[in-house]
Amino acid sequence: MAHGLKRGRKLAAAIILVGVLPLIAGCGEKNTYVAPPPPKVTVATPVKKPVTRYLESTGNVAAVNSADLVARVAGFVQDIKYEDGATVKKGQVLFVIEQRPYELKVQQAKANEDNAKAALISAQANYQRQADLVPSGSASKAALDNAIASRDSAQASVDQAIASTKLAENDLAYTQVSAPFDGIVTARKVSIGAFVSGNGTALASIVSSDPIYVNFTIGEQETIRVRAMIAERGLTPAELKKVPVEVSLQTEAGYPHKGTLDYAAPSIDPSTGTLAGRAILDNPKYVLLPGLFVRVRIPLGPPKDELLVPDTALGTDQSGRYLLVIDKDNVVEQRRVTLGPLDGTLQVIDKGVGPDDRIIINGMLRAVPGQKVDPQTASAPPKSS
């Protein structure tokens, strides 16, 4: 029995040894690192489309015509013939100053004129008589000279009387203050019955609103670009005034108001380094009011084909803007780029990429320059809004 027990122990030891040997052999093998798969990113080639480049600035709306309505004669305000803020036409009577005193002055001046004309007739007849008698010796040369002097004096009196009549008629006409041009009249500054002096008492103001000016300035660099565009297109001064200008209020989307260039200063202001410009626009609904702050843009030529990428694909660091581009081996490269204008959600790239470059547009945080990626082509090229 002891022999059987000993034999069982040997058998158990052999079984244990058989189970442990593979484990020992496994512990002796070397561990190897398996690299993770390249990160997935979305790529697309640049969009090629015609883009119009613009010169952009800010400006202020200004009236083409603006004037104060003033009293040119003294008197009491007799009538006000408009409502505050009304739109009026050129020549429309707005204020009437008491006319009766000036009507009487016209009558008086005309009476003086008639009297002077009667005296002239008498002096002319006397001169003629003396002129007829001198050849026969019936009148002296001195009498003829006196007749000539009397005639000329009477003629001068007539001329003076006529001028006085015209002055009186002008004063009578000035009792009616009319609109000098089409426009909108401000609130009255005087009331009916108020006395106004003839030294320029302000009655109200009038502002024209259609058409309207937009004044703006451009910097020296932009001025050089505009001059280059003018030289390239061979525009004459007359054609220059046909250059389109687009305007937008701060609350408006896009540039809905269209006009043309009206004026450009002949020189740059040395104190500001800017060139003054002015556009003129139709404003039939009076949307643009004098004094408003607006955005202005001017096309620098016809549309030209450009390369564009989504604005969100651009990165920024201390050296400037860049794009992540993958080569034929799917290795990421950081590419420095020069930017053009923004077209909706797309950014024009002036320099740095070609039409066939694959640009990472999604998953930039997973892409490391110099490392491989797993590119997934975008289902459709991005479009500008």
Dmax (CA) for the chain in angstroms is 203
Who has greater pLDDT, 32 or 94?
94
**pLDDT per residue as tens digits for the range 324-368:** 999 888 898 899 988 888 888 898 988 888 888 899 888 888 888
* Residue carrying the six token digits 């200063």: 265
Which secondary structure element, helix H or strand E, spans residue 100, and what is its range? helix 100-133
**pLDDT per residue as tens digits for the range 218-250:** 888 888 777 777 777 776 767 777 788 999 998
Domains of the chain: 41-51+304-377 (2.40.420.20), 100-174 (1.10.287), 212-299 (2.40.30.170)
Helices (H), 134-244: 141-174, 220-233, 237-240
Q: State the Cα torsion 188-190-191-193 to the nearest 10°.
A: -150
pTM (two decimals): 0.69
For residue 235, what are the CA distances in angstroms to 56, 127, 226, 274? 20, 71, 11, 22
Residues 6+ apart with CB under 8 A from 213: 61, 62, 63, 64, 262, 278, 279, 280
pLDDT for residue 4 is more than 80? no
Binning pLDDT at 50, 70 and 90, where does residue 30 land? low
Average pLDDT in the 98-118 region? 89
**pLDDT per residue as tens digits for the range 50-76:** 988 888 889 999 999 999 999 999 999
